[in-house]
Amino acid sequence: GAGVSQSPSNKVTEKGKDVELRCDPISGHTALYWYRQSLGQGLEFLIYFQGNSAPDKSGLPSDRFSAERTGGSVSTLTIQRTQQEDSAVYLCASSLAAGSSYNEQFFGPGTRLTVL
């Protein structure tokens, strides 16, 4: 596809369960970012990947959150032992090359996570 895709589009889970969210970036984009959007906090950065490495994990809110990227492409964000405050829309973005004039970020449609 031409754009960033994410799955699932919606996820409802029970408190304490683990969830995995998937992002497929635009083909050829080396930089990948995860953000989340919640009513109280707005849009906030979570983690950045350059290739398969994550040099910046400073936005992850707790050690229950982790992410990986494989083959310089697909990324998975995992939340363990979900809490109600994890409810938000999780957005993935990709760009051609970070740190250059080619860092325009393009966003996927998001995954809406609801923790009951």
Q: What is the closest distance, in whole angstroms, from the C-beta atom of residue 34 to another protein in the complex?
A: 10
Q: Would the CA dihedral through 106, 108, 109, 112 be positive or negative? A: negative
What is the binding site for another protein (CB under 8 A)?
Answer: 31, 33, 35, 42-45, 48, 50, 55-56, 58-59, 89, 91, 93, 98-99, 101, 103-107, 109-110, 112
Q: What is the closest distance, in whole angstroms, from the C-beta atom of residue 107 to another protein in the complex?
A: 4
Number of Cα atoms under 13 Å in the Cβ half of residue 21: 32
Q: Give the nearer residue to another protein in terms of CB position, either 10 or 16.
A: 10
Compute and round to an integer the Cα radius of gyration of the chain: 13
Q: Give the nearer residue to another protein in terms of CB position, either 13 or 105.
A: 105
Q: Give the nearer residue to another protein in terms of CB position, either 15 or 43.
A: 43
